[in-house]
Structure 1
Amino acid sequence: MRKHKIVSLTASAVLLGSGMIAATAGPATASDTPISAARACTENAPRFTSWPGTGANDPAFWPARGTYATTTPRCKDINLKLDADRSVRTCFKQGSGWNCNSWRTLKAGRWGLAATDVLDGTKFFLQFAGTSRASGLIDY
């Protein structure tokens, strides 16, 4: 929206400088209103499938073992839309180790928060309760 206004102001300045008169814009239309932050964040989210766990002390996880994902400026939260109800927790890189937050149960077919207010550039991985694979959409 800001880029659009800057272009409009620039065009008006050019017209004014040339002696032409520019008409002012009318009321905002639906296409001029910003998309909600949550919808913009999850729009076109990629699908994921976690890796299966091996036992009680090794639950299903995403991404691949020994790797992590890094948050982007696209979202301030880590959002999941799972194919089945599932408990998830997010583990964050802290110093030389990892610290996991509490388990959160997310409902199938709805966007849910795995973690909130996460800084850009934060390294993380997800764990899913149980050993079976989890799948759905993810955005972070």
Structure 2
Amino acid sequence: MRLDVLTLSAVLAATTAVATPTVAAATTTCYGGAITKHYGDGAFFGPYSASSRCTDVNLRLTAGTSDYVNACVVFIDHTSQCNRWTRVPNGSWHTIATDVLDGTHFEVLVGVPLEGDDATVQIAF
């Protein structure tokens, strides 16, 4: 009986040691660090600081009454203007700013096409 307990303990320890890096790796991926925001809570989200998880700022529309949103990034340490407007349809990830250096401060501006529309988006950076 003692041998069975030791064997089971060894198997559990080995399984845990293998699973831990996988979980850690999943949370450090670009999209694994995404945050969720709701348009009804405002149109400007942030300020954020670019991380080493992503080289870009990415956005996807996940829910809401709108089929798409328009989004842009404002690099707040340098300007109060949007970089460019990007139309982001429901479902897949879209890059809204490219080659963003780690530590760069920014806000994301989101707009819906019709008054009264709402949207839930995820932002990965």
The TM tier, using the shorter chain, reads 0.5 to 0.7
How many residue pairs match? The answer is 90
Q: 5+ unaligned residues in a row in structure 2: which ranges?
A: 1-24
Matched, 1:110 2:88: no
**Range with bigger deviation, 70-79 or 124-133:** 124-133
- Of structures 1 and 2, the one scoring higher in RCO (CA 8 A, sep 6+) is 2
Distance 2:97 2:123 in 1: 12
Question: Which structure is larger by alpha-carbon Rg, 1 or 2?
Answer: 1
2:82 to 76, 94, 100: 100
Deviations 1:26-84 (A, max 9, x none): xxxxxxxxx9xxxx3113533222433xxxxxxx2213xxxx11111110101111124
Q: Runs of at least 4 residues of structure 1 off by over 6 A? A: none
- C-alpha separation in 1, matches of 2:97 and 2:87: 12
- The aligned residue for residue 61 of structure 2 is 82
Please tell me the residue identity of whatever aligns with 2:37: F
1:44-59 equivalent positions in 2, closer than 5 A: 45-50=34-39, 51-52=41-42
- Which residue does the alignment assign to 1:124? 106
More strand by share: 2
TM-score, length-scaled by structure 1: 0.55
Distance in 1 (CA, whole Å) between partners of 2:111 and 2:121 is: 15
Change (3 A) 1:133 1:69: farther
Question: CA distance change for structure 1 residues 101 and 119 in 2, over 3 Å: closer, same or farther?
Answer: same
Contact kept, 8 Å, 1:82 with 1:135, in 2: the verdict is yes
Secondary structure (helix, strand or coil) at the match of 1:135 reads strand
TM-score of the superposed pair, with normalisation by structure 2: 0.61
Identity %: 30
1:71-130 Cα offsets, whole Å, 9 max, x none, are 1111010111112411111100234x4332111101111001111110110111111124
Structure 1: where are the runs of 5+ without partners? 1-34, 53-59
